[in-house]
Amino acid sequence: MAGKVLCEATKLYNILNQYTFLPRLAESNYLCLIDARAAESYNFSHIITARNAKWDSDGKFIMPLDVEVESMRYIIVYDSSTHSLSDSGPAIDCADSIEKSSQFPVQILSGGYEKFSALYPFLRTPKILYNIRELESLNPYPVEILPGKLYMGDYRQATNLQILKDLKLNALVNVSDECSLVFQKANCTVLHIRMADSAEADLITSFERMCVFIVSRCCAVTMAYLMYHLKYTLKEAWNHIQQCKANMKPNRGFVQQLSDWELQTLGKMVTDISEPNY
């Protein structure tokens, strides 16, 4: 039995917004999101891609036929407001039924729909069914590094005015060769660091300027921010970012500069970047 764990709202937000070339929500064994509230509440509004829980005549949860529990990477259940594994309610009952055959722990959304929808109202929907093409065409949001404060995304997300509005961003760091005219329409301050994504690019000389500016686009600068403001080691910052965005991978030149930045900000070199993880 895999057991049950709580899932914070930020974690579900980041799970929903993972992508490589396409959104990971389009992968059949990536996420099964179960809404255990009453059908009327679900039909009015629910978290994007969630399925409404079905129960048999004995009150036992019925797993959707097209879901392979054993191979599903994330199974997340929510009701209106469960906050603890010791609570009772439909989310707990649903998770109890699923955990018997799940390979990974079944996650229960802390605070339920009420908390998540208050934090991320733009991820609510009345839409019930998605075909594969619709899932592939979803526009992921930047991952959330520090709740409500720091996000990390790509150039396409940074130039999407709806995303900037939904996340209420008031500052952007654009680390790229490009600077879109869309930025002029954005209701936020933009710091443009003109730089190619190459091992030879000199990023470290701009770290302090970008950290003082607060918000960042690329994973290397986001780690630099955590090291500068929160005094994380490079290893701690790396692990934190990787939990938010699983496929992040700064180039080798930037990793070396982050190691130098660790020495500069902490006064000592703690992280061994020769380890395979880096």
Q: Which CATH superfamily is domain 4-136 in?
A: Rhodanese-like domain (3.40.250.10)
CA-to-CA distance for 150 and 47, rounded, in angstroms? Answer: 22
CA-to-CA distance for 267 and 184, rounded, in angstroms? Answer: 39
Residue 146 pairs in a beta bridge with 150
The pLDDT of residue 166 is 95
The pLDDT of residue 192 is 82
Q: Which two tokens stand for residue 77?
A: 């259940």
For 184, counting Cβ atoms within 10 Å of its Cβ (0-12 exposed, 13-18 middle, 19+ buried), the class is: exposed
CA-to-CA distance for 223 and 216, rounded, in angstroms? Answer: 9
Q: Which two tokens stand for residue 101?
A: 């055959």
The pLDDT of residue 121 is 97
Ranges of each domain in the chain: 4-136, 146-266
Q: What is the CATH number of domain 146-266?
A: 3.90.190.10
Alpha helices (runs of H) in the chain, residue ranges in sequence order: 9-16, 39-44, 90-98, 112-119, 132-136, 155-158, 161-166, 182-185, 207-213, 219-229, 234-244, 252-266
pLDDT tens, position by position, 139-188: 999 999 989 888 999 888 988 999 999 999 888 888 877 776 667 777 78
Long-range Cβ contact pairs of 92-97 (< 8 A, separation 24 or more)? 92/4, 93/36, 93/59, 93/61, 94/34, 94/36, 94/53, 94/61, 95/4, 96/4, 97/60, 97/61, 97/63
pLDDT tens, position by position, 76-105: 999 999 999 998 899 999 999 898 888 899
Is residue 5 within a helix (H) or strand (E), and if so which, with residue range? strand 4-7
The pLDDT of residue 214 is 45
Instruction: With a cut of 70, list the residues of the chain below it in pLDDT.
Output: 1, 180-182, 197, 212-218
The pLDDT of residue 158 is 86
